[in-house]
Amino acid sequence: MVEVEKISDLRFSARCGGRAAVLAVTMLFCFLTAIAQTPLPSPLPELAPSPQEIQVPAVATDFHLAPKPLPELTRVGVDMDRQRPLSIREALALALANNKDIEVARQNVRISEFDLKSAQGIYDPRLNSAAYYERSKSPISSFLSGGSDGAVTQSDYTGTARLEGQTPAFGGNYHLDFSSVRLTSNNVFTALNPQYPTALTFTYTQPLLRGLRFDNSRRSIEIAKKNLSLTDAQFRQRAIETITSVQRAYWDLVFALRNLQVQREAVRDARTQLEHNQRLVTEGALAPIDVVAAEAQVAGFEQTLFSSLEEVSRTENNLKNLIAENHQSDLWNLSIVPSDSVDLVTPQISLADAMKAAMANRPELQQSTVAREINQIDQKYFREQTKPQVDLIGTYGVVGLAGTTSGTANPLTSSSTQLRDAVNKLLLNSGFDRLPDPPAQTISPDLLGGYNQSVQNLLSNRFNNYRVGVQISLPLRNRTAEAQLGRSLVEGERLATQREQLQQFIQVEVRNALQLVSTAEARLHAAVIQRQASEQQYQSEQRKLDAGQSTVFLVLERQTALTTARGNELRAQTDLNKAIADLERATGNALTTNSIVVRVR
């Protein structure tokens, strides 16, 4: 059937030369003779139907396309009349302000800031207080109990306060205790009733070995600081990744829109060619089948056109997802029109300079450094825990007292006076001298008064006490601390191995990125030459067709090749810009190249 069509083509072009027609007839005769001499293959044996034959449904066997115009080139949910010009810098600014990954990274930094503040709060002093009323009634079990009615009853109002905390240096801790009591009792031996005892005690504990240079509180603060640096490096990494993603999405949209224009031009050229073929058929210069071929070409380009429209919608939604504030943003309803043209100037950087920049700027290496520093903090702490616990403890306290005299005589004093009088009487009757009078037992005037007097006696430091000692806690084996230290040392070795692996991976990325830029530049150069040659070939083939020296098939082939070459040129241009963005990410220069500054509070 194909050869018959070729003969038909030659028959209509026989006006330009009869020799070509004769040659074509001769070739057809030879071809048919060869087919006749070729033995036919033996028929295949019929296959027996399987017992469970799968019933495959028919696919649109009687489908007939109803004639209707093609739909408009519109995108779902986008108002084509509302266009938003967008530059690459505006897209980056919107992404850094609205992108959810950036916002999560920013919140992680804020969380680390609060974690650091919480760790530093370990040194905040703590004030504890308690106040209560107590009454006790105890039975008398001794003649010296001093109670009445068979029981001793006393009640008191007690108030206590404690100020405690840790010192930022040397790992010491302190607590200051104060107590005051108002005590009343029916004990006949109590000289002051009510009385107001007060006490103030200061205690300080200073580690001498374990915890002197480094303790858990200082470890928590140092780790919190490193975690803040870690989240900052993670934020920078997320910002670089977002910048690269926005740049790639932006250039993908540029390619999709320009490719849509190329496909529209291809459809327009194909329709022009169809109209041209129809005129030639009318003039008798072409066979009617050539019109069918041109119609098939138009239909194929129309399919590609709507596929390109789908690609525009997909790439635009991808870019909007990176820069839109939320799903209710008005940006989703706008048609984004990139305003920046492709940058065809490739960065001139050597492999050595690119590796040096990557090792200095890559956030992954900064994160590895922070992880190593955290491990060193753990090693320092666990090495400290292997030491014995030896603490110096010092206590100093003062007490105060005041009260009101009870007004009752001391039973012991009264009975001793009677006994003394009887003895003196016997001595005098026997001619001896009487016993000397005992010194008077009186309450100091400084102890007479109320609560204020007791506090004054406390502050005067007249009644004090102190204690100094050493407290030792010596584990016999301490395997827990030794195991924790050994684990931290192995963890350090693992982090060092991972860092070497990361450095090697970064080297691979930098090398690949440089190669990608170089390859993309070469591909662009070749694509430009291919597009220029395809344009010349297409124009030449059209002229040959008009002169009767070519066929519609070759013209359509040239047209398809030209459309492909234009698309390849566009793809090479955007691939070059995407390769540059990947190189900036690989070297860690995405922030500085795009003039983006990340400030750490």
Q: Give the Cβ contact number of residue 474 at 10 Å.
A: 8
- Stretch 200-228: mean pLDDT: 93
The answer to which of 53-57, 89-93, 238-242, 318-322 has the lowest mean pLDDT is: 53-57
Q: What are phi and psi of 114, to 5 degrees?
A: -70, -35
Residue 47: the pLDDT is 46
Residue 39: the pLDDT is 47
Residue 44: the pLDDT is 43
Q: Say if residue 58's pLDDT is above 90.
A: no
What is the pLDDT confidence band of residue 42, given thresholds at 50, 70 and 90? very low
Residue 52: the pLDDT is 58
Q: Say if residue 338's pLDDT is above 70.
A: yes
Residue 347: the pLDDT is 85
Residue 154: the pLDDT is 87
Q: What's 14-37 look like in SS3?
A: HHHCHHHHHHHHHHHHHHHHHHHH
CA distance 218 to 120: 9
- Stretch 264-273: mean pLDDT: 90
Q: Say if residue 62's pLDDT is above 70.
A: no
Residue 432: the pLDDT is 73
In the numeric block, the tokens 């029981």 are attached to: 151
CA distance 239 to 592: 12
Q: Say if residue 230's pLDDT is above 50.
A: yes
Q: What is the pLDDT of residues 494-535, one digit of tens each?
A: 999 999 999 999 999 999 999 999 999 999 999 999 999 999
CA distance 306 to 294: 19
Q: What is the CATH number of domain 91-112+218-382+481-593?
A: 1.20.1600.10
Residue 420: the pLDDT is 66
Query: Quick one: which of 226, 150, 157 has its CA closest to 186?
Result: 150
Residue 418: the pLDDT is 63
What is the pLDDT confidence band of residue 41, given thresholds at 50, 70 and 90? very low
Pair of tokens at residue 546: 């008009």
Residue 59: the pLDDT is 64
Residue 496: the pLDDT is 95
What is the pLDDT confidence band of residue 14, given thresholds at 50, 70 and 90? very low
Kind and range of the H or E run holding 67: none
| Average per-residue pLDDT for the chain | 84
**Helix (H, G, I), strand (E, B), or coil: what is residue 300?**
helix
According to DSSP, residue 342 is labeled: P
Q: What is the pLDDT of residues 375-387, one digit of tens each?
A: 999 999 999 999 9
- Stretch 52-60: mean pLDDT: 64
- Rounded to 10 deg, the angle between the 100-120 and 216-283 helix axes is 180
Residue 53: the pLDDT is 63
Q: Which residue has the higher pLDDT, 242 or 29?
A: 242
- Stretch 444-469: mean pLDDT: 89
Domain borders along the chain are 2-37, 91-112+218-382+481-593, 126-207+389-409+442-474
Task: Decide: 51 and 287 in contact? Cβ < 8 Å.
Answer: no
Preceding amide of 194 cis, omega within 30: yes
Long-range contacts of 503-511 (CB under 8 A, 24+ apart): 503/359, 503/365, 506/355, 506/358, 506/359, 506/362, 506/364, 506/365, 506/586, 507/355, 507/358, 509/358, 509/586, 510/351, 510/354, 510/355, 510/358, 510/586, 510/587, 511/351
The answer to which of 66-80, 128-142, 331-345 has the lowest mean pLDDT is: 66-80
CA-CA-CA-CA dihedral for 53, 56, 57, 60, to nearest 10: -140
What is the pLDDT confidence band of residue 335, given thresholds at 50, 70 and 90? very high
Pair of tokens at residue 174: 């302190």
Residue 434: the pLDDT is 73
In the numeric block, the tokens 């649109």 are attached to: 60
Residue 151: the pLDDT is 83
- In 441-485, DSSP assigns E strands to 463-473
Tell me what percent of the residues of the chain surpass a pLDDT of 90. 50
* Distance from the Cα of residue 488 to its chain's centroid: 25
- Rounded to 10 deg, the angle between the 479-546 and 351-361 helix axes is 140
What is the pLDDT confidence band of residue 63, given thresholds at 50, 70 and 90? low
Residue 600: the pLDDT is 54
Q: What is the pLDDT of residues 282-307, one digit of tens each?
A: 888 888 888 888 889 889 988 999 99
Q: Which residue has the higher pLDDT, 324 or 142?
A: 324
Q: Say if residue 582's pLDDT is above 80.
A: yes
Q: Give the Cβ contact number of residue 19 at 10 Å.
A: 9
Q: Say if residue 438's pLDDT is above 70.
A: no
CA distance 370 to 204: 36
Q: What is the pLDDT of residues 64-118, one digit of tens each?
A: 666 667 777 788 888 888 999 999 999 999 999 888 888 888 899 999 999 999 9
Q: Which residue has the higher pLDDT, 28 or 255?
A: 255
Tell me what percent of the residues of the chain surpass a pLDDT of 70. 82
Q: Which residue has the higher pLDDT, 487 or 447?
A: 487
Task: Decide: 291 and 225 in contact? Cβ < 8 Å.
Answer: no
Q: Which residue has the higher pLDDT, 567 or 44?
A: 567
Q: Which residues make beta-bridge pairs with 403? A: 195, 448
Pair of tokens at residue 555: 């013209």
* Distance from the Cα of residue 555 to its chain's centroid: 56
Burial of 147 (0-12, 13-18, 19+ CB in 10 A): buried
Q: Say if residue 34's pLDDT is above 50.
A: no
pTM for the whole structure: 0.72
The answer to which of 30-44, 152-166, 175-189, 313-327 has the lowest mean pLDDT is: 30-44
